[in-house]
Amino acid sequence: MGPRDGELPQNGELLDVQGLVKRYPGRAYGARSEAVSTAAVEGVSFSVLRGQTLGLVGESGSGKTTTARLLLRLEAPDAGSIRFDGEDWLALSGEALRRRRRNMQMVFQDPNTSLNPLMTVGDQIAEPLRAQRLAPRTELRARVADALTGVGLEGAAADRFPREFSGGQRQRVAIARALATRPKLLICDEPTSALDVSVAGQIVNLLLELRERNGLSMIFISHDLLLVRAIAGTIAVMYRGRIVEEGPATIVTSRPLHPYTAILLSSVLEVGLPERGARIVPGPEPRAAAGPLSAGCSFAARCPIARPRCSQETPPLSVSANSGAHRAACFFPGELDARL
């Protein structure tokens, strides 16, 4: 039997994003007030294979969460294309979009705000099953219990409220709810940042186990390069709305090409990383510019190795010599890393 309509071959491309753009309206105040727009995501492109985990890394304000919201259609992009599971994701609307959303789910950063404190966790896990008509009423309780035991909680916990759980347990509930519809792609937006270190490690191990058990594809968003290295096969580093480096996780974290990635790594002390010299401190973060990002490298104002060309031309995200699938948007790739 051949694949169903719209189904890609196993290990084929599940998600393909090209030229994604999102700008927010605002006003600039000077000699006169004028309407402007601020670029949050500017020309982002990447793909996720079936069974692959992509790590999206960057500081706060780099555009990671906005990218996730665009993928989920929680916000509409201003330009670009998204193909998910063989379909034009941006062409879907109404009932068609609602039905397809079961295949792309999200675990949010803080379970204290993503869970409704007035509903039992069982009702919250059952809610997407009801909305998607994935289980008859007589089977809902069993499906909820299965979802809870699948994340290491007791099925009887369905009758409790979020306040009766610890922070790590609440995040397990949030994961169970996201997986209740049996999605093909799970987006995790900083799922451990609100947790203690030991509990965060348990959640990471749980996600790894669930990925293998369910054959999930994942996008794991974090500011922590080492955490992403542990869970993702491929890393994309974002800075000011653009992807500045992309490649296999082990290579990006051991031989970074972009100065921004090298600086992030220079601030980390971790067994297993190559020994590096003193931490490199970048220049101050410039104020967010109004309007589309100007010509030139977005990191030029802070980069220790910037030349005049860097502020005049925009470097493409391209493969450097002998780097294979490793790409960087830099005219002098690897130069800063060699100094560390």
CATH topology of domain 13-253: Rossmann fold (3.40.50)
Helix (H, G, I), strand (E, B) or coil at 142: helix
Statement: residue 285 has pLDDT above 80: no
Cβ-based neighbour number of residue 172 at 10 Å: 24
Domain ranges of the chain: 13-253, 254-285+292-340
Statement: residue 275 has pLDDT above 80: no
**pLDDT recorded at residue 306:** 92
Mean pLDDT of the residues in the chain: 86
> What stretches of the chain adopt beta strand conformation (E)?
13-28, 34-49, 53-57, 79-84, 87-88, 104-107, 185-189, 217-222, 234-239, 242-248, 318-319, 327-328
Task: Express each pLDDT in 97-107 by its tens digit.
Answer: 999 999 999 99
Question: Residues 184-191: what's their mean pLDDT?
Answer: 95
Question: Residues 36-40: what's their mean pLDDT?
Answer: 77
Encoding tokens for residue 189? 């937006």
Encoding tokens for residue 39? 């670029």
**pLDDT recorded at residue 11:** 61
| Contact partners, residue 163, CB within 8 Å, separation at least 6 | 117
Statement: residue 236 has pLDDT above 80: yes
Statement: residue 188 has pLDDT above 80: yes
Statement: residue 225 has pLDDT above 70: yes
> Whole-model pTM?
0.86
The strand pairing partners of 222, in sequence order, are: 57
Statement: residue 290 has pLDDT above 50: no
- Residues 251 and 27: their CA atoms lie apart, in Å, by 42
